């Protein structure tokens, strides 16, 4: 008894049908790649390159992404779906906005999760910052002159005792509606409406 595949391929015009399907699939893949490039969506692990001289917009997909030093003003990084993990330190040397990213310690990063340079202002919205018990206590270091605003963020994990945010001037780091689930003090910050 002949197999179904043999019946289909022996049918007149079957090879032409298969070629058409292959061509159609290739066209769909090409169009999808073009759409992703247009939207500047980075698939994990992303290179996080700032290609423009300012106002870079980078959208990350689910998965583990490595760290980066961001040096171009007004870069925006957004996690598109849930499950966008930043597993290495991110340094901000210029103003930036970060949305929906899960910063986490890893075997590749036992230091702080983010460092904000002295000339940078960074806004974190709806981010999760998580450290494991075997890593240092500081989640974010804000260097002298640097500023940070955390809106609706969660700090979690059980790192060794110490401040969650290393910062010298309380007015330079604002937390609005954030949740500190670590048990450690937030540090020298101004917190409004947080838990």
Mean pLDDT value across residues 128-151: 93
pLDDT of residue 95: 97
pLDDT of residue 34: 67
Q: In what order do the strands lie in the sheet with 63-65?
A: 63-65, 84-86, 102-104, 128-131, 154-157, 179-180
User: Six-digit token pair at 159?
Assistant: 């790192």
Mean pLDDT value across residues 18-38: 70
Mean pLDDT value across residues 31-58: 68
Mean pLDDT value across residues 89-109: 93
Pairwise CA distance, residues 188 & 170, whole Å: 5
pLDDT of residue 124: 98
């Amino acid at each position: 008894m002949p197999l179904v595949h043999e019946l289909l391929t022996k049918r007149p015009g079957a090879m032409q049908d298969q070629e058409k399907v292959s061509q159609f699939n290739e066209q769909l893949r090409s169009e999808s790649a073009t759409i992703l490039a247009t939207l500047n969506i980075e698939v994990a692990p992303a290179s996080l390159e700032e290609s423009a001289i300012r106002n870079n917009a980078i959208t990350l997909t689910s998965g583990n992404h490595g760290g980066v030093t961001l040096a171009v003003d007004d870069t925006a990084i957004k996690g598109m779906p849930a499950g966008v993990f930043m597993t290495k330190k991110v340094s901000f040397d210029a103003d930036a906005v970060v949305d929906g990213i899960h910063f986490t310690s890893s075997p590749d990063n036992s230091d702080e999760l983010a460092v904000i340079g002295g000339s940078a202002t960074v806004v974190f919205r709806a981010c999760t910052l998580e450290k494991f018990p075997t890593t240092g206590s500081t989640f974010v270091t804000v260097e002298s002159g640097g500023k940070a605003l955390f809106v609706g963020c969660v700090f979690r994990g059980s790192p060794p005792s110490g401040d969650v945010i290393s910062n010298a001037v309380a007015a330079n780091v604002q937390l609005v509606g954030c949740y500190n689930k670590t048990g450690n003090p937030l540090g020298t910050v101004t917190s409004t409406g947080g838990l």
